[in-house]
Amino acid sequence: MPKPLIGLTTYLADARWGEWELPAALLPAAYVSCLQAAGGRVVLLPPDAPEAAVDVVARLDAIVLTGGEDVDPQLYGAQPHPCTGPPVRERDRWERAVLAAGLAHDLPVLGVCRGMQLMNVHAGGTLIQHLPDEVGHHGHNPHGGHFAPHAVTTVPGTRIGALLPGTGQVATHHHQAVESLGAGLVVGARAADGTIEAIESNRHRFVVGVQWHPEMAFDSAVVHALVAAAGTTANAAPDRTAERRARARSGSRDVVVSTPAP
């Protein structure tokens, strides 16, 4: 039985290794390691032209929208806060196109940190641009460049609630958060200060966003659940998978991906 193929979105950033310092498509190795440990095969999806997303996603069994830079406030009709980072529009456009193609085919999707925020914005929701202004503390991002633990409590009756019932510690590093929910999304977890820490779709079989970083725990129930859902995509209906991939290769217009102009 083949292992499911999971696509992970990446940064485009200047990086240094050995004698080299060059622009690179990169991602922390923990994302790859945790998915491999849970039984998945991994491919990296660096930013590309949005119209390429349909063909790329047709070859996948699941998608992970990874963490990273702040989502462009223009996408949810807001002016940038002084603490909001510079926009990375190429990544925003690409990841929204990948997400749209994945949703159209009901692929399993996991959004991590920025990925969860992008999911919410794509569904028409908005973001809090600097969380300390709202909650009065820096507990969600106390030290730059380091993950910090804090407690989240999941909502009974949600997918996240079933995977992680009650209250537990998660690894976090974020200064933004979901404000208003997008269409078709429900809250799956909150922090003690009320911050939304997980969302999920009530229109798809597995579309989950978490504000924390499950890749930092190799036994994460969330990661294993994604891989299990991806395995269903890969193995339960091979005829549908083959048809989906054939349509993409032939240039089918069945999936229309549109993103706002920057």
Instruction: Give the residue numbers marked as catalytic.
Output: 113, 213, 215
Q: Residue 157 burial (CB < 10 Å; 0-12/13-18/19+)?
A: exposed
- Classified as helix, coil or strand, 256 is coil
Tokens of 207: 């579309």
The C-alpha atoms of residue 46 and residue 61 are separated, in whole angstroms, by 17
| 187, β-bridge pairs | 199
In terms of Cβ atoms closer than 10 Å to its own Cβ (0-12, 13-18, 19+), residue 32 is: middle
Assess contact for 211 and 174: CB atoms under 8 A: yes
Three-state DSSP class for 94?
helix
